[in-house]
Structure 1
Amino acid sequence: MPAEARAGQRVVYLRDRDDGQRMKDVIYVHPPSYKGAEFQNPAGLPRPVVAGLPFPWVTPMGDSGPLFREVERVKAELCRRLWGCQVCGNDLDTTAWVALERPEDGSPVITSAAIHRACLSLAVEHCPVLGDAANNYAFTEVFEDDIAAAADEGRHEGAPKARWYLRPVSETPRPDRMRTFLSLRQVLERS
């Protein structure tokens, strides 16, 4: 392969973490637009603060600063597959939180992956999408098997790309479970 072609490639390495968490450290070599190893973004809390904002684990850093509107696909996929938090990068507990388009079973999940309760508070305080009351998002606590892969059909213009939907309670191993849907105001009040 010519050197010019290799220079534009993005090589990703996964490294086991020393702290016993299942989630992996992600190391980038020759990323085309991410600083990768030049910007240390380790998993855990508290989050690094960049440009006055907490820096989520799945957010890339570009040469001109944080790319808050982007998501590192490798990290987001690790969070989905290994049941990890997209904000702090650590393993999730038995339950976690997601943001939904509507407060009902079957609603699309609008976040890239689930979030710890403490990380949800951090996200709605600082994320202009999740923290915008005009979006009327609902928030609910889920088990890993409460969410399932979704088709991207029928989403409205400008909406985040939904990759998950909230499985109806009747289709889960806990069919008698009652779900609670919180508004943004209720999430902020509980912070």
Structure 2
Amino acid sequence: MPWLTPVTATGPHWRMVHRGRLAHCQREWACQVCGEPAPPRALLAVDADGRCLTSAPMHPRCAKQATAACSHLSASALLLRAVTRDQIVVSGDLHPDLGETEQWRVPPAQPGLVPPWPDPHSLEERR
């Protein structure tokens, strides 16, 4: 079960995001699926305009698991982009106690500016 999914006595709430955990992932560059520290280059699920679906990184293995299990992440309109933290454009502030988290956007990839993921067979981008 994804680390960001809130769970109550009635079970998991699949369509919701635990704001405190999302804030932790954003602040600490932690994986939204497992909650562990993400690598310097991690994957983000982005739309064609570069908007991030949940604005938190994922390990490649966690992204593979998440896209297999989550219909929103496997949507054909989303890409998995390998990025570093400094490639992200951030708007908003972290105030999880008020239900506020950052919104992330990734500028479109430009040849020569975004180095390829180290393993050519990894999940750098997927349609």
Whether these two folds match at TM > 0.5 is yes
Secondary structure of the structure 2 residue equivalent to 1:177: coil
CA contact (8 A) 1:98 1:115 kept: yes
Residue 183 (structure 1) aligns with: 126
User: Which has the larger Rg?
Assistant: 1
Residue 131 (structure 1) aligns with: 74
Paired AA for residue 111 in structure 1: T
How far 1:179 moved relative to its partner?
5.7
Residue 103 (structure 2) aligns with: 163
CA distance, structure 2, for counterparts of residue 179 and residue 165 of structure 1? 18
Structure 1 gaps of 5+ residues are 1-54, 152-161, 185-191
Residue 44 (structure 2) aligns with: 98
Paired AA for residue 81 in structure 2: T
- Using the size of structure 1 for normalisation, the TM-score is 0.52
Secondary structure of the structure 1 residue equivalent to 2:89: strand
How far 1:58 moved relative to its partner?
1.2
Residue identity over aligned pairs, in percent, reads: 30
Paired AA for residue 126 in structure 2: S
Aligned residues: 111
Structure 1 residues 148 and 93 mapped into 2: Cα distance closer, same or farther (>3 Å)?
same
Secondary structure of the structure 2 residue equivalent to 1:140: strand
Residue 79 (structure 1) aligns with: 25
- Using the size of structure 2 for normalisation, the TM-score is 0.76
Structure 2 gaps of 5+ residues are 93-101, 117-123
After TM superposition, what 4+ stretches of structure 1 lie above 2 angstroms from structure 2? 167-170, 175-184
Residue 44 (structure 1) aligns with: none
CA distance, structure 2, for counterparts of residue 179 and residue 62 of structure 1? 41
Aligned-pair Cα RMSD in Å: 2.4
CA distance, structure 2, for counterparts of residue 112 and residue 147 of structure 1? 9
